[in-house]
Structure 1
Amino acid sequence: MDFTFSDDQLTFREAISRFLMTEAAPEMLREIWETDVGRSPDLRNKIAEQGLTALSVPEAAGGLGMDDVAWSLMTQELGYYAIPDSLADTAYVACALIAGLPASVFKRGEWLAGIADGSLRVAVGHPVNPWVADAGHADLLLLAHDDEVHAVPRSQVDVHHLTSLDASRRLAQVSWQPSAATLVAEGQLGRTLWAHTLSRGALSVAGQLLGLAQRMLDLSVDYTAQRKQFGKPIGSFQAVKHHLADVATQLEFAKPVLYRAAYALAQGQSTAHVWISQARLACCEAAWLAARHGIQVHGAMGYTWEVDLQMFMKRAWALDNAWGDRALHKARVAAHVLSGAPLGPGHTFEE
């Protein structure tokens, strides 16, 4: 069995990486985030021109029709360059949710075409998330009411903006009234769509966390090569080497877990949610370790606005509870691993 990525997938990732390296440099992102809206329509349009917004839109709707495995590569790039997570929410999470709606939904094709060309911003309000990312800037909100899926225009939603540790995130508490006009799915279909949405949201966050961890490691390596103490680069000290080696090891262990989860979701495996929770936990641990050791090698200045590390570190912290906290994902893994296991005193000790 061949576990390698296809040439198309790797080529597309490389093209996106080169593009973001130029168009989303840290100094440019700082300028964008300090504006009132915190978003750049110009950058969004350029990303759409690269095809990222059309990545998972079906070919019949003008997209590229690529699957979850391709997104496991793309979300790493979004994390590495600190692109706001709402892009993935629209182009990946919301796109899959809309594509899963019945063909009878009146504007389904129009919404998919809008995602593909980058003209439509979609915010997803899943019950697992207390606040909705980018609700204030969205053209359309996909919101849950029990098992129902509602597609609500921005004009019908009241938005209360909230602050975030991560300056790039635009979180909001939304108030709205469900109606027959906004209902697009219900019953078993609604439950299935929301379950798949949670899986894709968690997988998206896992990929971004892995990209963030890699960026923090790269920044730390660069810093330790330049910063000198006692006439030597601090990267030559054994203790510093051990810190960075621990992060690199954690990253390498997390990557195959992420790819296994993406494959399970793409293939529609019944246990995909378990693999995704495992990937979410593994990538989260890698990002937290990269942030912690990054701060240790940078010193207190790593927290300051002038140093790039803080941008990626705060993003990792902010995403820690997005699309399910650690307790939720640990519980899903434990329920699968320990299902039917003989636990408790009556099974542990012989009479």
Structure 2
Amino acid sequence: MRFALSPEQRQFSASLHDLLAGADTRAAARAWAQGRHEPGLKLWRDLHDLGIGALLVPEEHGGVGADAADAVVAFEALGYHAVPGPLVESVAVAPALPVGDRLPALAAGELIVTVALPPEVPRALDADVAGLVLRVRDGLVERVEPGEPTRSLDPARRLFTVDGPGETLGECGAGPFETGVLAVSAQLLGAGRRLLELATEYAKHRHQYGRPIGSYQAVKHLLADVATQLELARPLVYGAAVAVQERTDVIRDTSAAKVAAGRAAHLAARTALQVHGAVGYTAEHDLGLWLMKVRALVAAWGGAAFHRARVLAALGGI
């Protein structure tokens, strides 16, 4: 299968990168981690002006009615810039759920939704900023009140329990979970690419024994390995987007994308930390924003073992 971005998708990606590059997303992520949400919410409003919230909402409800590949373009950019908040839940998952007459508000950016899908997604992300907290369990979609917050590996992610009784809104199939897995895979792809760029830039300017460390063959090999893994993961993620859109081999392809993107992003994180040396361990360094995000997203929406088992089952256990 050959997949190439359309001119419209390339323009959409460029618009997102231009917006996010001009915004201080790193400051917004740090503020979000400290419980100060306004900088991040302002960033969300700016993103909604570009149509992020309306992306997967049907046109009859005020949305764009875009396809899964468009969502991958968006989430790759969001992961690259470490934008905080329940983006996967609100932008990718919620439009596929029976939320009634709330879809126009979701498309307009007036409503933030977060979702838990036990057992793979047992807690709701950032429920304290969401206007609607949902739980999908046994094929039923329920509106629930969030419980106690718990810490994540990523300080910019707060997870809330959703164990209480809920109000049933309707039924749904497995589609929303697969769309969530796809969006997280795209975030990992974007975050991995950013980590590679940070490591490459640092290697060009950090001198050791009178030479940039990037001139040493060992460092070049480390960075080349990351670039290779990211390039191998990318077609799997976009291939999964096609599978989601066409509803063929969805479980196999979304799980394969999550495994590949998670492996590549994890390698990018380890390599970036190694290249940066001791400075990479400091909380003040921006590298940590992506390191922690990758660590959290690799385990989110099903870890590697879960998704490998799904791929094996989809292939008939061979």
**TM-score, normalisation: structure 1:** 0.86
CA contact (8 A) 1:57 1:64 kept: yes
Rounded to whole Å, the distance in 2 between the matches of 1:200 and 1:213 is: 20
Rounded to whole Å, the distance in 2 between the matches of 1:121 and 1:28 is: 17
Rounded to whole Å, the distance in 2 between the matches of 1:85 and 1:96 is: 19
CA contact (8 A) 1:136 1:159 kept: no
Rounded to whole Å, the distance in 1 between the matches of 2:178 and 2:209 is: 50
Deviation for aligned residue 1:52: 1.0
Q: Are residues 1:166 and 2:154 paired?
A: yes
1:237 aligns with 216
2:191 aligns with 212
CA contact (8 A) 1:33 1:39 kept: no
Using the aligned pairs only, state the percent identity: 38
Deviation for aligned residue 1:183: 1.7
Q: Are residues 1:304 and 2:295 paired?
A: no
Rounded to whole Å, the distance in 2 between the matches of 1:254 and 1:144 is: 29
> Secondary structure of the residue that 1:174 maps to in structure 2?
coil
Q: How does 1:177-196 map to 2 (within 5 A)?
A: 177-178=165-166, 182-186=167-171, 190=172, 192=173, 195-196=174-175
CA contact (8 A) 1:24 1:83 kept: no
CA 176–252 in structure 1, closer or farther in 2 if over 3 Å, else same: same
Q: How does 1:9-24 map to 2 (within 5 A)?
A: 9-24=9-24
Rounded to whole Å, the distance in 2 between the matches of 1:306 and 1:317 is: 18
CA 273–222 in structure 1, closer or farther in 2 if over 3 Å, else same: same
> Secondary structure of the residue that 2:127 maps to in structure 1?
coil
Rounded to whole Å, the distance in 1 between the matches of 2:264 and 2:53 is: 27
2:115 aligns with 124
1:250 aligns with 229
Q: Are residues 1:8 and 2:8 paired?
A: yes
CA 227–266 in structure 1, closer or farther in 2 if over 3 Å, else same: same
> Secondary structure of the residue that 1:162 maps to in structure 2?
strand
Deviation for aligned residue 1:218: 0.3
> Secondary structure of the residue that 1:324 maps to in structure 2?
coil
Rounded to whole Å, the distance in 1 between the matches of 2:65 and 2:24 is: 25
Rounded to whole Å, the distance in 1 between the matches of 2:315 and 2:56 is: 31
Rounded to whole Å, the distance in 1 between the matches of 2:255 and 2:308 is: 7
2:297 aligns with 319
- Cα offsets for 1:108-155 (capped at 9, x unmatched): 2x3111111111011111011122111222111221343321134xxx
1:200 aligns with 179
CA contact (8 A) 1:123 1:141 kept: yes
Rounded to whole Å, the distance in 1 between the matches of 2:227 and 2:121 is: 30
Rounded to whole Å, the distance in 1 between the matches of 2:39 and 2:312 is: 39
Name the Cα RMSD after superposition. 1.7
- Which stretch has the larger CA shift, 257-266 or 321-330? 321-330
Q: Structure 2: which amino acid aligns with 1:26?
A: R
> Secondary structure of the residue that 1:53 maps to in structure 2?
coil
Deviation for aligned residue 1:259: 0.7
Q: Structure 2: which amino acid aligns with 1:150?
A: E
> Secondary structure of the residue that 1:3 maps to in structure 2?
coil
Show structure 1 runs of 5+ residues with no match.
102-106, 342-351
Q: Structure 2: which amino acid aligns with 1:328?
A: F
Rounded to whole Å, the distance in 2 between the matches of 1:49 and 1:296 is: 38
2:84 aligns with 84
CA contact (8 A) 1:24 1:81 kept: no
Q: Are residues 1:140 and 2:132 paired?
A: yes
- Cα offsets for 1:2-31 (capped at 9, x unmatched): 632221111111101110111144244324
Q: How many residues align?
A: 317
Rounded to whole Å, the distance in 1 between the matches of 2:10 and 2:96 is: 22
Rounded to whole Å, the distance in 1 between the matches of 2:36 and 2:73 is: 31
Rounded to whole Å, the distance in 2 between the matches of 1:274 and 1:2 is: 18
CA 26–39 in structure 1, closer or farther in 2 if over 3 Å, else same: closer
Deviation for aligned residue 1:36: 4.3
